[in-house]
């Protein structure tokens, strides 16, 4: 078990998980039921490397970046937001930093995925002292880049969700869940929830 004093910085991926269902951080962080991170299959690895080539070739030039610096699997930390994580890919020049996330399936990002990417961007902005004006998802078979843009409302959402997660750490009580049957039936924690009646 953990208490909030040891959790000044929490994983950015918990924001997405909390949005999917507020109980997931409770199960994973308080009770310690951590599901295995998916191991990239051969198909997943080749998808990533295809996307990296695509990004290197197309995105920086398309958005006016000449010879930007690029890095993959970048560790990020935001002292201001109390968040940390690993973003798939970034490119940056002297002025701007752009985070990119790859998704092997889907046509558009969920709200949770969007806030996760924005949190990476805020952390990068703070770490590198550069401007974060947009990030991208490259998703599914179309591999079409989808832009997301930060704003004060979304930053506040991130701050509020982090506070709610920390509150769960404080109380150590299982939160109520608004999750739909559809969500519960695809959830790896279903066997831990004894109040799902369907
Ligand atoms: S089974 Fe449903 S209520 Fe339980 S953690 Fe999963 S999504 Fe939430």
Q: What is the DSSP string of 187-198?
A: -TTGGG-S----
pLDDT attached to residue 27: 95
- What is the position in ligand 1's atom list of the atom closest to the CA of 23? 5
List the single range of 24-38, 113-127, 155-169 with lowest mean pLDDT.
24-38
Contact (Cβ atoms closer than 8 angstroms) between residue 84 and residue 76: yes
Task: Identify which of 169, 197, 181, 194 has the alpha carbon closest to the alpha carbon of residue 21.
Answer: 181
Residue 1 pLDDT exceeds 60? no
Q: Please tell me the class of the 4-192 domain.
A: alpha beta
Share above pLDDT 70 across residues of the chain, in percent, rounded to a whole number: 89
pLDDT number for residue 174? 93
Dump pLDDT digits (tens) for 127-139: 999 999 999 998 8
Res 3: pLDDT? 43
Query: 3-state DSSP helix/strand/coil percent for the chain, to nearest 5?
Result: 45, 20, 35
Rounded mean pLDDT, 72-79:
95
Compute the distance from residue 162 Cα to the ligand 1 centre, in Å.
19
pLDDT at 2: 45
Ligand 1 mean position, distance from CA 87 (Å): 26
- Please write the tens of the pLDDT for every residue from 180-189: 999 999 899 9
What mean pLDDT do residues 149-178 have? 96
- CB contact at 8 A, 85 and 123: yes
14, 15, 44, 160 from 106: Cα distances, Å: 20, 19, 14, 27
Is the CB–ligand 1 distance for residue 26 below 6 Å?
A: no
Q: Model confidence over 18-52: pLDDT tens digits? A: 999 999 999 999 999 987 655 555 666 677 777 77
- Closest by CA position to 121, among listed 97, 153, 86: 97
Atom 8 in ligand 1: which residue has the minimum CA distance?
21
- Residue to substitute in 28, 177, 178 for testing ligand 1 pocket (most ligand atoms within 8 angstroms of CB): 177
Nearest-CA residue for ligand 1 atom 7 is 184
Give distance in angstroms: CA of 13 to centre of ligand 1.
Answer: 17
Distance from residue 34's CA to the centre of ligand 1 (Å): 14
**What residue owns the CA closest to ligand 1's atom 2?**
184
Top mean pLDDT of 55-59, 155-159, 170-174, 194-198 is at 155-159
Report the alpha-carbon distance of residue 34 to residue 22 in Å, rounded.
15
pLDDT at 81: 96
Ligand 1 center to residue 130 CA distance, Å?
38
Output the pLDDT for position 23.
96
- The average pLDDT across 144-167 equals 96
CA–centroid distance, residue 108 to ligand 1 (Å)? 23
Q: Residue ranges per domain, the chain?
A: 4-192
């Amino acid at each position: 078990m953990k208490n909030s004093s040891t959790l000044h910085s929490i994983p950015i991926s918990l924001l997405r998980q909390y949005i999917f269902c507020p109980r997931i951080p409770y199960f994973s962080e308080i009770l310690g039921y951590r599901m295995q991170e998916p191991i990239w299959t051969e198909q997943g690895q080749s998808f990533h490397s295809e996307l990296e080539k695509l990004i290197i070739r197309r995105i920086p030039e398309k958005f006016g970046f000449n010879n930007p610096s690029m890095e993959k699997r970048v560790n990020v930390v935001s002292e201001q937001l109390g968040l940390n994580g690993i973003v798939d890919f970034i490119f940056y020049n002297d002025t701007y930093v752009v985070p990119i996330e790859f998704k092997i399936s889907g046509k558009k990002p969920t709200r949770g995925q969007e806030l996760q990417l924005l949190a990476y961007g805020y952390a990068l902005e703070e770490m590198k002292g550069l401007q974060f004006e947009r990030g991208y998802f490259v998703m599914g078979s179309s591999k079409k880049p989808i832009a997301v843009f930060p704003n004060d409302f979304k930053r506040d959402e991130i701050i509020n969700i982090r506070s709610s997660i920390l509150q769960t750490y404080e109380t150590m009580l299982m939160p109520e869940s608004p999750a739909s049957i559809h969500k519960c039936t695809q959830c790896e924690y279903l066997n831990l929830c004894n109040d799902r009646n369907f």
